[in-house]
Amino acid sequence: MNINATLLGQTIAFVIFVAICWKYVWPPIISIMEEREKRIADGLEAAKKADDSLEEAQLEFDQKMNKAKEEAAEILNKANTRASQIVANASIKAEAEAEKILSAASKTIENDANKAKEELKLKMSELIIDTSEKILEEEIDPDKHQNLLKKAASEL
């Protein structure tokens, strides 16, 4: 192999080029690569933290949702129980009111029947007296008439 000045010049130029690159080009490239690697690692770490925090938020959401469902079911049960109590109380009050109305109506009917009986007794006694007057063809004076009415009413 033939070593001549060109090869030697090229080797020296290559070594100088490598030294210059090693001193001035390589460090910025390495720092950019390290910075990029750091950003990627930070991004991955942030994504992992976000994933973890999303899982925690999902668990917390599920717990709160279950608690809210339980509270809603409890409130619904209480409302149903209260509604049943209100309906039962209203039913009891309605029955009591119906009984009062029925007893008042029966008392009214009884009173009306008694009044009708009394009126019928009076009319009947008047009719008897009128008939008796016609039969006897004499008129009874008002005092006797009143006494006869009372007597006839008490007998019936």
DSSP type of residue 4:
-
Give the model confidence (pLDDT) of 2-38 as tens digits: 678 888 889 999 999 999 999 999 999 999 999 999 9
Give the model confidence (pLDDT) of 42-65 as tens digits: 999 999 999 999 999 999 999 999
Give the model confidence (pLDDT) of 88-141 as tens digits: 999 999 999 999 999 999 999 999 898 988 888 888 877 877 777 766 655 666
In a domain, 2, yes or no: no
What is residue 144's predicted lDDT score, i.e. its pLDDT? Answer: 72
DSSP type of residue 138:
S
List the alpha helices (DSSP H) in the chain.
5-20, 26-136, 142-155
Other Cβ atoms less than 10 A from the Cβ of 60: the count is 10
Q: Please, what is the angle between helix 26-136 and helix 142-155, to 10°?
A: 120
The SS3 of residue 141 is: coil
What is residue 73's predicted lDDT score, i.e. its pLDDT? Answer: 93
In a domain, 100, yes or no: yes
In a domain, 1, yes or no: no
In a domain, 3, yes or no: no
Number of domains comprising the chain:
1
CB 153 within 8 A of CB 122: yes
Which amino acid is it at 29?
I
CB 123 within 8 A of CB 95: no
d(CA 154, CA 140): 19
In a domain, 5, yes or no: no
In a domain, 4, yes or no: no
In a domain, 16, yes or no: yes
pLDDT at 75 over 80: yes
* Domain region containing 90: 10-155
Q: What percent of the chain has pLDDT over 70?
A: 90
Closest Cα partner for 150 from 120, 114, 122? 122
